[in-house]
Structure 1
Amino acid sequence: MTEPLNTNFTPIDQATWSRREYFYYFTKMMPTGFALTVNMDVTKLLAWTRAHQVKFNAAYLYLVSHCLTDHPEMRVGRFDDQLVTFDVVHPSYTVLHDDHSMSNLWTAYTPEFTTFNQWYLADLAQYGHITGPMPKAPQSPNLFTIGSLPWVEFTSYTPLPFTPLNTFFPVFQAGKFTVHGLQTTMPLSITIHHAVADGYHVSKLFNDLQAAFNQPATLLEK
């Protein structure tokens, strides 16, 4: 199964782009990215997934993807060497096998969670048992990386590329749940290229994510 894939985008006119000087500075003069980790309250989201017998990871992937649709700076990429803003970005995530090896899958984002969840479960069924780095080959230029390390509680996580960055999408990593009385928290890190986003943009995104985690029914029950 290959679900429908939205790859629509709007070209960025760098002559009039408000971020033009910052983009040049953070890609040419001082190439820089940064990372931030926040303890997210997932109490209500976890309760919702258990009550509806939905995999937490499906809800997590969907809600992050959904929030990114409201943040164009997080959807800046390249298409045929043209700098563009994609309409949506699709989650590219890892699955773990019995031998502790991992594989990379992706599921197309769609606004309806019920449909997204069906596609996610279908992808797991078709590709989740196949070993190798990418059993479902990436077929889209607008995939963003999102994962989880459910075995460890961390205070920071930063991917370290060994080649110059050529992508501007955020990278997410979630950690182990921690229970504090009636509250459950989960560390969530983002790593982002400074060419497209500042701390202000990342802060707004995390605030939107927390609001979505606090009211999961608003987005997931449709």
Structure 2
Amino acid sequence: MSDAADFVDAALQREGSRQRAAEQQARLGSGLRFYGASVGAVRGTVRDAARRYRGLTHDDVTALSSELWAVPVFERRLAAIVLLQSNVHQLGNSDLTRIEGFVRGARLRELVDPLAVDVIGPMVEALDPPGRARADLVLDRWVRDRVCWLGRAALLSPLRALRAGGGDWDRFTRRARSFLMQPPAAGEGEAVREAISFVLSEVAKTRPELGFPLLAP
């Protein structure tokens, strides 16, 4: 591992608790290992790493995120997400391929959701029009993918912008309607349907004037 990845991994293990690890394993499972570090400890570790390794470039950030993600430990993968979130201003359209790999392998709401809401959404919102168009085509494809976590990520990604009064509401409703009109086999798309319901309920709190024409002809 690189020095930065070693630093993060060692800090996460120090912050871990056997009891918390056992509780997380029982609650989340999914084939991952757990150090038992809290979410706050993960965020603090990433901040400490940023201070220790100043001036991380785009390539440094993406390489470190991949290095952390490569080992199937929940806290390492969460640290990779926090790292991307903290450096989302450096990310671009070309990073969606790497992030897609993360989403495909995440298989947990606790990893997919922050990737979608705190990384993918803000990154796409900041792209220039040509880059945004290319990214939107990728996210449209995710909604049709057999891996339901990709559809969940695509549909959750505009949540922050929609809450704040922006975002592309028409595109969200088109994606949601596309999924609902051709749902997967029973039980396979629950994570996507849950995401649609959550976005609708959250947006309704601040923007009740928006319509939800998901099942309109």
TM interval, shorter chain, is under 0.3
**Structure 2 length-normalised TM:** 0.27
Q: Of the two structures, which has the highest relative contact order with CA contacts closer than 8 Å and spacing of 6 or more?
A: 1
**Structure 1 length-normalised TM:** 0.27
Query: When you count strand as a share of all residues, which structure comes out higher?
Result: 1
Query: When you count helix as a share of all residues, which structure comes out higher?
Result: 2
